[in-house]
Amino acid sequence: MTIEPREEPSPAPVRATWTRPRAQALAPEAARDVELPPPATEATTLGGLGWRPGIARASRADFYRSVRYEALEELGYTGRSRWRVPLAERPAVEERLWPLLDAALHAGDDLYDQVLGFWADGLELDLAWSTWAAVLVLGCVRGGAGLAALERGLLRVPREARDHQACAAEALWLAPHPDREPFARALCAAGEPVLRAVGVAALARTERSPASLALHLDDPQPCVATAAARAAVGLDAEAVRERAPRLASGLRHPDADLAFACAVALLGAGDRQPLLDLRAGGCAALGRRAADLVVLAGDADDTATLQRVLGRGSLDAYALDALARFGHPGAWAPLCGALADPELADEAAAALETLFGAAVPVAQRQAPRAWQAAIEARGFAPATRLRRGRVWSAAVGCDECQSDELDVTEVAGRLLELRARGLLRDPVELGALSTELEPVLAGLWPALRKRPAAPDGFG
């Protein structure tokens, strides 16, 4: 990705177009060539219908402002959709980014004020993907003015708004600005915790093992330490081991997000200390989220641990999914029982499919007796770990990731599962654009399929 700058007369901001793969750049001034409707008069007609006199027409500035706001809104939705579709559908979703970026960048003047205004509205409504859209647009502006506006916007993000911070970091990493890395380093050294949190998360994606990460794991502000721990999830095993003492101390932190991120980073690098702590009654700050630790690295003897963790609350969609992903065939009873609850029936059926595959006809997927009969007919061994009706292995995980059953967020969890069980050495950055990600995955799937499978599926 490269920026092709274009100078404009003052006082209009200097903007840029993003050279993108498989997409022809729109004409730089395309948005300015739109003609407004003619003045409203009784004689003016459109499709045989007359314009009603007295209706105020929008000014040209208002028109372009509405174009930019709609483009920003759709851009945020598209950024969210990148993670909510199967991998195979992501390239088509990303093709929508380019015209939306063009519209947001070139629809009239007042770019910075309007983008920051849109961002402020998103913060008020707690729409994290509005932050993603605003940061991406400002990161496409040549020079320092866009980055300065981006920093002003980040200063409005609350410290507890960690979803917004994560979205900002991803968008900054994706932005084609040539100074994004020095800018991220400057954020890491800022006095405001939110700036440090975004800088740490963005820089870790670029450098993969930033030397400052260990320092930020000790940051007194939980939002910064959490960003550093989440960034550690994307490091290779050796880099995580170098930071293991700091991550292990984070397991006891009262902040649930921080403790969870530390646990996942350690497990992803093959360090089972979080699971050992959980078995011993630790990791209390995680609450029911501790079930994911069992899913990632537990064995057949951890059934009681999983039941203890999930027993801290009522059976819900998260609990059903965790039981299914853990893979013990004995989970069929609570999953089938949940089919009787109208509010959980869809989630229970999906969980049963995750565990046993499409074992019953679609018309019977919410029929408990149909599931029970199908499961009994297969005669699954009680001590095996299942996924979609097969003993879990790297090959089964590949099939699941490449299917249309999972969205990209779920694929990220499956790849972490493969890492925690020693079948995948290096992390995969699924936040990358498809043009960069697809070649990586094309080499990954065949290699994973060659991994030996444990007989019980827990290896």
Q: pLDDT tens, 344-396?
A: 999 999 999 999 999 999 999 999 999 999 999 999 988 899 999 999 999 99
pLDDT value, residue 46? 35
- pLDDT > 70 in the chain, percent: 86
In 10 A of CB 10, how many CB atoms?
Answer: 7
Average pLDDT over residues 237-254: 90
Tokens of 36: 């407004």
User: What's the confidence (pLDDT) of residue 57?
Assistant: 61
pTM: 0.86
pLDDT at 133 over 80: yes
What confidence tier does 422 reach under pLDDT thresholds 50, 70, 90?
very high
CB atoms < 10 A from the CB of 163, how many? 14
| Beta carbons within 10 angstroms of residue 35's beta carbon | 5
Q: 50 phi and psi, to 5 degrees?
A: -85, 145
Token pair of 61 as six digits: 């500035």
Strands 45-46 and 49-50 turn out to be antiparallel
**Structural domain contains residue 249:** no
- Please tell me the predicted confidence (pLDDT) of residue 11: 31
- Three-state secondary structure string covering the chain: CEEEEECCCCCCCCEEEEECCCCCCCCCCHHHHCCCCCCCCCCCEECCEECCCCCCCCCHHHHHHHHHHHHHHHHHHHHHHCCCCCHHHHHHHHCCHHHHHHHHHHCCCCHHHHHHHHHHHHHHCCCHHHHHHHHHHHCCCCCCHHHHHHHHHHCCCCCCCHHHHHHHHHHHHHCCCCCHHHHHHHHHCCCCHHHHHHHHHHHHHHHCCCCCHHHHHCCCCHHHHHHHHHHHHCCCHHHHHHCHHHHHHHCCCCCHHHHHHHHHHHHHCCCCHHHHHHHCCCCHHHHHHHHHHHHHHCCHHHHHHHHHHHCCCCCCHHHHHHHHHHCCHHHHHHHHHHCCCCCCHHHHHHHHHHHHCCCCCHHHCCCHHHHHHHHHHHCCCCCCCEECCEECCHHHHHHHHHCCCCCHHHHHHHHHHHHHCCCCCCCCCCCCCHHHHHHHHHHHHHHHHCCCCCCCCCC
- d(Cα 107, Cα 29) in Å, to the nearest integer? 9
Mean pLDDT of 108-131: 95
pLDDT band at 15, cuts 50/70/90?
A: very low
Pick from 187, 262, 257: nearest CA to 222: 257
- What sign results for the dihedral spanned by CA atoms 69, 74, 75, 76? positive
Contact 135, 394 (CB under 8 A): no
Please report, as a single letter, which amino acid is at residue 278: L
Taking the mean position of all CA atoms in its chain, how far away is CA 206?
17
Q: Contact 5/140 with Cβ under 8 angstroms? A: no
Q: What percent of the chain has pLDDT over 90?
A: 73
Structure confidence at residue 32 as a pLDDT band (50, 70, 90): very low
- Residue 273 · residue 251 · CB < 8 Å: yes
Confidence band of 58 (pLDDT split at 50, 70, 90): low
Identify whether 121 is part of a domain: yes
pLDDT of residue 332: 94
331 with 371: CB under 8 angstroms? no
Residue 164 pLDDT: 97
CA contacts within 13 A on the Cβ side of 90 = 24
In a domain, 456, yes or no: no
42 pLDDT band (50/70/90 cuts)? Answer: very low
Kindly state whether residue 351 falls inside one of the protein's structural domains.
Answer: no
Distance CA 153, CA 146 (A): 11
Query: If you average pLDDT over residues 237-253, what whole number do you get?
Result: 90
Q: Which of 437, 415, 436 is nearest to 426 (CA)?
A: 415
When divided into structural domains, the chain yields a total of: 1
**Mean pLDDT, to the nearest integer, of 280-292?**
92
* Domain annotation covers residue 272: no
**Domain residue limits at 104:** 1-31+57-177
Asked if the structure places residue 94 within a domain, the reply is: yes
The encoded tokens of residue 167 equal: 């979205």
Burial class (CB in 10 A: 0-12, 13-18, 19+), 186: middle
Q: Does residue 398 belong to any structural domain of this protein?
A: no
Distance CA 80, CA 167 (A): 9
The token pair at 255 is: 């902040």
d(CA 280, CA 294): 13
Examine the pLDDT at 265 and tell me if it is beyond 60.
Answer: yes
Contact 327, 386 (CB under 8 A): yes
Flag whether 119 is in a domain: yes
Share the mean pLDDT of the chain. 86
CA angle 33, 39, 40 (to 5 degrees): 135
